[in-house]
Amino acid sequence: MQPKYWILLASLLGASGVALGAFQAHGLEPFLARQGLTGEELAKRMNNCEVGVRYQMYHALALLAVAWVVSQTGGGAAQTAGFCLFAGVLIFSGCLYGIVFTGVKILGAIVPIGGLLMIIGWLSLAVAAWSWPQSGG
pLDDT one-digit tens code per residue, 19-72: 999 999 999 999 999 999 989 999 999 999 999 999 999 999 999 999 999 999
CA 83, 119, 45, 58 dihedral sign is negative
CA distances for 121 relative to 82, 93, 96, angstroms: 7, 15, 19
- pLDDT, the chain, mean: 95
Q: According to the model, what pLDDT value does residue 134 have?
A: 73
Residue 84 CB partners (closer than 8 Å, separation 6+)? 117, 118, 120, 121, 124
Q: What is residue 103's three-state secondary structure?
A: coil
Alpha carbon distance 53, 130 (integer Å):
30
pTM of the model: 0.94
pLDDT score of 76 more than 70: yes
Q: Mind listing the domains of the chain with CATH numbers?
A: 3-130 (1.20.120)
Q: According to the model, what pLDDT value does residue 137 have?
A: 44
Q: According to the model, what pLDDT value does residue 74 have?
A: 79
Nearest to 98 by CA among 37, 38, 52, 34: 52
Chain centre distance of CA 56: 3
Nearest to 20 by CA among 86, 101, 84: 101
Q: According to the model, what pLDDT value does residue 58 have?
A: 98
Which tens digit of pLDDT belongs to each residue from 79-126?
A: 999 999 999 999 999 999 999 999 999 999 999 999 999 999 999 999
- Other CB atoms within 10 A of residue 15 CB: 11
Helix H or strand E encompassing 124? helix 111-130
